[in-house]
Chain A
Amino acid sequence: MTGPAARDEVLARIRTALGNSAPGGRAPDADPVPRTYRTSGELGAAELLELLAERLRDYGCTVRRTAPGQLMTAIGEALDRRAARRVVVPPGLGLTGLPAGTEIVADEGLSPAALDAVDGIITSAAVAIAETGTIVLDGSPGQGRRALSLVPDYHLCLVQASQVVALVPEALARLDPGRPLTWISGPSATSDIELDRVQGVHGPRTLEVILVEPEQAGQPGTPAPAS
């Protein structure tokens, strides 16, 4: 830690620069920011999920839509297609009945090298933003610590319809800033060479999302009534 000298001097410079003298500067006035931007979306539930799916696909994600009753089948298909045999499943995800031949790897403090050796990771999500095609993880028991969804090359993310909001401000209002948050909008990518987009750099090169829609909203993939 630096001594108090640097801190005091920087704060004194700020007071000099602003021409006021109270320590730490004057107490701020009430929020003077015009917040006339949109803070809630206008889409119905079905359109919201449709938009999220479209925006995720636009980033190169595979998106599956399913009802809770068919969730295990959908996960099985996804793992099968990927040929993922050894997958990390956080303890809080509560998945039972993964396809035969799938080895569930528990996170008992797996080293980065051990994580690098598994075929994939399955997590839940905290919230998803339709307009930007974003999934946010917050380190809840269904997601585990941040390294789990980072080092393995394949991330299968389960998003519940109730977690989907339209806009960025709606997502922020739902999130707890005290938790470690990871916002994911498609697989890792770079455009650093001649602005040519290359998908898949250091994060999982494949991101797959299963959208879980309530049964009463109709058959998977068909429009649900607005709520």
Chain B
Amino acid sequence: MSTFLGIPTAPRGVGHLRGDEPFPVAARKALANTQLRRNLGKATSTIRAKRAAVVAELPDWEELREAGRAIKAHTMRHLGHYLTELESQVTARGGTVHWARDAIEANRIVTDLVKATGADEVVKVKSIVTDEIGLNDALAGAGIRACETDLAELIVQLGRDRPSHILVPAIHRNRAEIRDIFLREMGGVDPELTDTPAALTEAARLHLRRAFLSARVGISGANFAVAETGTLVVLESEGNGRMCLTLPETLITVMGIEKVVPAWRDLDVFMQLLPRSSTGERMNPYTSMWTGVTPGDGPQSFHLVLLDNGRTAALADETGRQALHCIRCSACLNVCPVYERTGGHAYGSVYPGPIGAVLSPQLTGVEDNASLPYASSLCGACYDACPVKIDIPSLLVHLRARHVEETARAHRVASPEAVTMAAASWVMASPARWAAAQSASRLGRALGRGGRIRRLPPPLSAWTAARDAPEPPRQTFREWWRKERGSRP
């Protein structure tokens, strides 16, 4: 486990922040899956169009984005203050606040809380943070069954699969695949079940109804937590969230420490930015807001677990800290040309796409997700789509630099990037050397076909493994100038 300013990152061996293989290897497999690419292409283009339409409706969208950015930047600068304010407000209203340094500690806290109720089953609202820490595995280890109740999460859970998108985790599955999973895994399903989304949704409704009505413990994440009032906020669509947040006797909410917002009126901004950026709706069907315990209404025992797991390490990087501003809308995934082709699994972390490429390496330490900052063409579409204006392209470049520097420090030898850049600097420092190098590059034409070079010899093959290089021109600019004007430029 590495440290940044001595602050520990998320521990290895628990949770889902690291893939089994680097991005380029995983991406190659995903690219070969034509079904996956068709599903992704359809899904991302549908959400893009919906989002664009509802964003265009608001005359003050840019003002909202700027306010969102400013609120998040301010919160990060005073994170300790707002967390302790949140803690005292939640406590004053009858809730109990727990602090978890990492995934292992959070899993232990939640498992102990569930065990204390005597329940052997919990119902879960869709929550990426509980997936980040591998909570379901920890609960299973203690003999507690976690029942995912979001339709997509249910599909993923029954299919013994991994989520591939922040908003629609089963985006990689089509209706026929989902029908097969339900018939095989759900139990008691009509064998005549068709594969229309309506029929599949009805099957899930019936399957989950029993779990909701008898649930004793609910587990959720949080979209926002208001420090000023102690109010927790969860946005959703299906009503499974309301079921889990309302019907059980005990509610346990796990949230990353970066989800706190200072004031009630900050929801002015986020309740407009998030639904439109996320599902492309004016408002999502259901939002629940609760403060501590309300006598006679909903869970009478409420626990809030505040999770670090690498977030303070990200906070320590003054540039990288922006990644903590993310409100998990997934707009950056849907506009990303890389995500649209590879899907979420290739990123190896529960946080895929552009935001995942800048968040996951900071939570784990860059060396554990070293390929992710390179999983981008730096086209900038993610920056434009981000509702809180996270400058993802600049963060990617920043993390690439950190990776190069940290590798050099760790190995006490210059990295290939450093050697290349030093050589380029030497060549470019002298007009004669530069001209000679340009002439020499013409040799590269022998490798080209149709203006492109698809494979360079080692060590340059590392560059062409994931992209083509343009064929060098027949004539350099300097040569053209000398011929046309008869003198040196």
Contact = CB atoms under 8 A, between A and B. Distances in A.
Interface of A: 1-2, 6-7, 9-11, 13-18, 23-29, 31-39, 55, 59, 112-113, 116, 129, 131-134, 139, 145-147, 150-151, 168-169, 172-173, 177-196, 198, 200-204
B283 A202 contact: no
Given A195-B46, A195-B47, A11 B83 contact: yes
A139 B269 contact: no
Contacts of B190: none
Contact of B63 (A1, A17, A34, A150): A34
A194 B59 contact: no
Nearest to A6: B99
A25 B80 CA distance: 5
Given A16-B316, A202-B240, A6 B285 contact: no
Q: Which 7 A-B pairs have the closest CB atoms?
A: A203-B239, A25-B80, A202-B239, A17-B316, A13-B312, A183-B287, A201-B238
Contacts of A35: 67, 265, 268
B296 A6 contact: no
Interface string B276-288: 0001011111111
Interface stretch (B15-23, B149-157, B472-480): B149-157
8 contacts: A17-B312, A36-B66, A37-B64, A185-B282, A188-B237, A189-B285, A192-B152, A200-B205
A10 B260 CA distance: 15
A185 B257 CA distance: 29
B108 to A, nearest CB: 9
Interface of B: 5-7, 39, 42-43, 46-47, 59-60, 63-64, 66-67, 70-71, 74, 77-84, 93, 96-101, 105, 109, 149-152, 155, 168, 170-171, 173-175, 178, 197-198, 200-201, 204-205, 208-209, 212-214, 226, 229, 231, 237-240, 242-243, 246-247, 257, 262-269, 271-272, 275, 279, 281-291, 294, 296-298, 306, 308, 312-313, 315-316
Nearest to B276: A132
Contacts, number: 270
Given A177-B231, A198-B197, A37 B60 contact: yes
Given A6-B100, A14-B80, A147-B247, A186 B285 contact: yes
Contacts of B173: 193
A116 B243 CA distance: 12
Contact of A187 (B66, B257, B285, B291): B285
Contacts of B229: 177-178
B240 A201 contact: yes
A145 B84 contact: no
B165 to A, nearest CB: 10
Contacts of A182: 242, 286-289
A179 to B, nearest CB: 7
A196 to B, nearest CB: 4
B151 A190 contact: yes
Given A172-B265, A183-B283, A150 B237 contact: no
Given A16-B5, A169-B265, A202 B238 contact: yes
Given A6-B101, A185-B284, A192-B170, A14 B79 contact: yes
Contacts of A203: 238-239, 242, 285-286
Contacts of B263: 31
Contact of A185 (B67, B283, B316): B283
Given A177-B289, A182-B288, A187-B285, 8 more contacts: A10-B257, A14-B83, A16-B312, A24-B84, A26-B81, A112-B247, A134-B283, A186-B285
A35 B269 CA distance: 9
Nearest to B244: A202
A146 B246 contact: yes
A12 B252 CA distance: 25
Contacts of A186: 285
A17 B285 contact: no
A31 B155 CA distance: 44
A192 B268 contact: no
A193 B194 CA distance: 13
Nearest to B284: A185
Contacts of B315: 13-14, 17-18
B60 A172 contact: no
Nearest to B229: A177
A146 B240 contact: no
B197 A194 contact: yes
